[in-house]
Amino acid sequence: MKKHTFILFIWITCLLSGCILEDQSDCRRSFTLLFRYTGDGTTDIFREKVTKVNLYVYDAHTQQLVQAYEMDSDDLQRLQGIRLDNLQPGDYEAVCWGNVFESSTVTGESQREDGSLAAPEYHTGQPADSNDPHYYGNTLFTVTNDWTDQQDVCNFRCTHIDIKVRLEGFNDGIALAGTRAESACPVNLHLENLPGYCCFHGNTHDESATYEPALTAAADDASAYESTFCTLRFTDDSDVTLYLTRPADGQPIYSLRMEQFLTENGLSVEDEQEETMEILLRLNTDGVSISVTPFEEEEVHPGMDERRLQLTMDNWQLRMSTETERNQ
């Protein structure tokens, strides 16, 4: 009697849950999507690089958004991925963006073809100071009718470039007519023709953007200035150009094409996932030329690394120690 009662209880429980052997259409399916990023090696370094993920799940056929999720660092520590329990059987495509913070804006995500990621300033036509260090993941997956715990992996790739610029010799070599804030750099940093946005296929768009990252006093030398920022991925042959400009009117006093800098120094931003471009601009003692090298490169090659900077004299005054000694 007790055996029959127990069997009846099990049968009623399955019936009420709608999950019986003949029909599992109402059963709760589970699909786990795991995240992985190996950078330029084979070891997974996802947690070292990504602390937030925005996930967009699209119908693989219609490309319409089905569900969107946001996982913070605590979520990713518990599970380096996400468990999707509410997807119906079908084909899907996952688009993931890592590290979407204050320097990022996502638009058009309801349709995969319209989705884009850009610095917030891009949409207002203003110069940006930086992007977030983005990582992109994309994978197709299928949820089947099987009542099983299904699983897949979404591999990420790096979609940003770190840029570090250091200025030396400008504090003593140039003084703006009038006054400026103490410890403020006497020139501004300006970059043109950087990619404007990334589409949801992970590629950058040709429409260009302008960046004006801040220069601050270097920690190791109060007379030097540094700026560290991120841009969207660009290629070696792109038309990205760096300018030093006058704070008073924004007029350029010096320009450097990134393609030329990379070529002359035997560098590339296409070889690796994690790319850092380091540029040292040093105003020479003649007061009218700049030496350009990667960081920590001691030897300066005349005619290759040296760029001529013709200063506009109406708003600028050259103050060089060599001239002082010559006049004494």
| CB environment 8-17: b (16+ within 10 A), e (fewer) | eeeeeeeeee
d(CA 35, CA 138): 10
Q: Are residues 201 and 255 in the same domain?
A: yes
What was the pLDDT predicted at 172? Answer: 60
Q: Could you tell me the sign of the dihedral formed by the alpha carbons of 70, 74, 77, 82, in that order?
A: negative
Residue 169, amino acid: G
d(CA 232, CA 257): 17
In which band, very low, low, confident or very high, does the pLDDT at 12 lie, cut at 50, 70 and 90?
A: very low
Q: Are residues 167 and 269 in the same domain?
A: yes
In which band, very low, low, confident or very high, does the pLDDT at 129 lie, cut at 50, 70 and 90?
A: very high
Read off the pLDDT of residues 155-169 as tens digits, 9 standing for 90 and up. 999 999 999 999 998
| pLDDT at residue 322 tops 50 | no
* Chain mean pLDDT for the chain: 82
Q: Which of 158, 132, 136 is nearest to 229 (CA)?
A: 132
Q: Are residues 259 and 151 in the same domain?
A: no
The number of folded domains in the chain is 2
Q: Are residues 153 and 75 in the same domain?
A: yes
CATH of the domain at 257: 2.60.40
| pLDDT at residue 18 tops 70 | no
112 within a domain of the structure (yes/no): no
Q: Are residues 83 and 37 in the same domain?
A: yes
* Domain around 93: 27-99+134-158
What global pTM score does this model have? 0.81
Q: Are residues 140 and 207 in the same domain?
A: no
Q: What three-state secondary structure class fits 134?
A: coil
d(CA 91, CA 314): 66
Cα–chain center distance at 11: 55
Last residue of a domain, one of 123, 143, 158: 158
d(CA 301, CA 299): 6
d(CA 175, CA 246): 11
What was the pLDDT predicted at 327? Answer: 44
Read off the pLDDT of residues 183-229 as tens digits, 9 standing for 90 and up. 678 899 999 999 999 999 999 987 899 999 999 999 998 889 999 99
Read off the pLDDT of residues 108-124 as tens digits, 9 standing for 90 and up. 999 999 999 999 999 89
Q: Are residues 154 and 165 in the same domain?
A: no
* CA distances, 39 to each of 48, 130, 234, 243 (Å): 10, 22, 17, 31
d(CA 82, CA 87): 13
d(CA 322, CA 185): 22
What was the pLDDT predicted at 38? Answer: 98
Q: Which of 302, 267, 308, 271 is nearest to 286 (CA)?
A: 308
CATH of the domain at 41: 2.60.40.2100
